Every structure is written in structure tokens, then in C-alpha cells.
Structure 1
Amino acid sequence: MNTETILTELAALREHVTGVTNSAVASVDGLLIAHDASDVRPEVLAAMAAVALGLGKSTGAEVGMGELREVITRCEGGHIVVYAVRETNLLVVLGDEGLDMNRLHLHSRPAVTRLGELLAA
């Protein structure tokens, strides 16, 4: 696994998507792999994102909606978006109230594919 390449992917999200404030890649067990996070505790972010992903997967399976793509949480101060990266990892992106969700999805979906390939290697 090339941590520098993962960090480059995370930095590109912050650079290309208005409103992205922090991001991290973790295992579905909540173990932090890499982060571009400065004002949150990345280990806690990874663990909580894993819980959100697990709940989303379980809920989607229960109602027969198919494979989970992402979990979006909107809060008073912004957004938390957790993307499934294959079966064993996740990408979590935090954004402020001005987060451009359309642009985030446009840039994050190819990033998820690239991250999946990097983490599988």
C-alpha cells in the first residue's frame, strides 16, 4: 500500500471540492489508514465512520436496496459522507455547510475506485 498516493487522493478532494474540510481512509473495522484531517481526531473519525458504514450496510440489506455506496449525514455545521471502498475499507469526508455535494460525488466516486485498487495492491 502506498500511503503517499492515498494522501494525494485525499488532498485532491480538498483542493477540487468546495467545502471539504477533512478526510480519512480507514478499514471497515475502524482502523485509520491515512488522513487529511487537521481539526478532528482522525482515529475517532475512522472509528465512527466505520460504525456509520456498518449501520448503512445493515439497513440497506434489510430493506433490499442492494450494495451500499455511501452514507450521508447532514448536521447543523456541515456534512459527513462515508463511502464504501470495496468490502474492507471506507473513505470519510467532512465538509462545511457550503460543501458542494454534486462536485463531491463527481470527484469522490473515481477516487473510491482508485483507493480500492491501491488498498488491494
Structure 2
Amino acid sequence: MSKQEDLLRIITGIRRAIPELHGVMIASTDGLSIAHDFPEAEAESVAAMAATALGLGQRITERAHLGGLMETVARGEYGYMVVYGAGQNAVLVMSGPTNSNLGLMRIEARSASAQISQVLK
């Protein structure tokens, strides 16, 4: 199986576990989309925002002496976008409605991030 197929399998697993999500993306820390199920027109901007959110979240937690970054959460009137580090060079993004189960998102993200890290080694 290719890396791309492995990453798409991870995304599919997340979507099966949390079907209400609007989209899932694996992006580089440079802001480039690697694999996703977002609408194609949104992918480039989501990847760039995710990388920025990860970097900003890391700086905030570091400067505020909060330890290593666990997640960056943006909550808006219509839903959430949650960003997780996935190894040294990748970001995992989940976007969902306001009634999203953040606890389940965290559980799935831990497992998926470890898998992504292994695939992109």
C-alpha cells in the first residue's frame, strides 16, 4: 500500500468513528495538504490555516509554560476546527459542527496522529 493510500485509510477510519465531521485533513507543517476529504476548493486554505494554528498554539503553550501542545481548538458559531500535531512534519485537522464530541475527537486524534507519524517517517 502507498503512503497516500495509508493516509486516506486513516482519514476514512476517523470519518467512520465520527461521521458528523465536515472534514478531515493531514497537512504538512509547511501548510500543504497531503490527504483530505474536504471540498477541493477549501483544501489549500485549510492546510495553511492548520499549520499556522499549530505553530501559534506551540508558541503560546511554550511561552505560557503550559507544556507540550496537545491541540488547538477554534470554535465558531457554526462549529469547530481542531488541530493536532502528527509527528514532526504533519498536522491533523478535524472540522465539525457545534455538537461535535470533542472527547471522541481527542481519542481518535491520538491514535490517528501516531499512525500518521509512522506512515510519514
The TM-score, its normalising length taken from structure 2, stands at 0.92
1:58 paired residue number? 59
Classify the secondary structure of the residue corresponding to 2:9.
helix
Structure 2 gaps, min length 5: none
Classify the secondary structure of the residue corresponding to 1:106.
helix
Residues 52-61 or 34-43, more deviating: 34-43
**Aligned positions, number:** 120
| 1:19 and 1:97 in contact (8 A); partners too | no
Residues 36-45 or 79-88, more deviating: 36-45
2:14 paired residue number? 13
Q: For each residue in 1:40-74, what CA deviation from the matched residue of structure 2 results, as whole angstroms up to 9, or x when unmatched?
A: 61111000111111100011110111211210111
Percent same amino acid among aligned pairs? 32
CA distance, structure 2, for counterparts of residue 7 and residue 22 of structure 1: 12
RMSD over equivalenced CA pairs, Å: 1.4
CA distance, structure 1, for counterparts of residue 45 and residue 61 of structure 2: 24
Q: Quick check: which one's strand share is greater?
A: 1
Q: How does 1:1-121 map to 2 (within 5 A)?
A: 2-38=3-39, 41-120=42-121
CA distance, structure 2, for counterparts of residue 99 and residue 63 of structure 1: 28
Structure 1 gaps, min length 5: none
Q: For each residue in 1:11-65, what CA deviation from the matched residue of structure 2 results, as whole angstroms up to 9, or x when unmatched?
A: 1111111421101111111011111113761111000111111100011110111
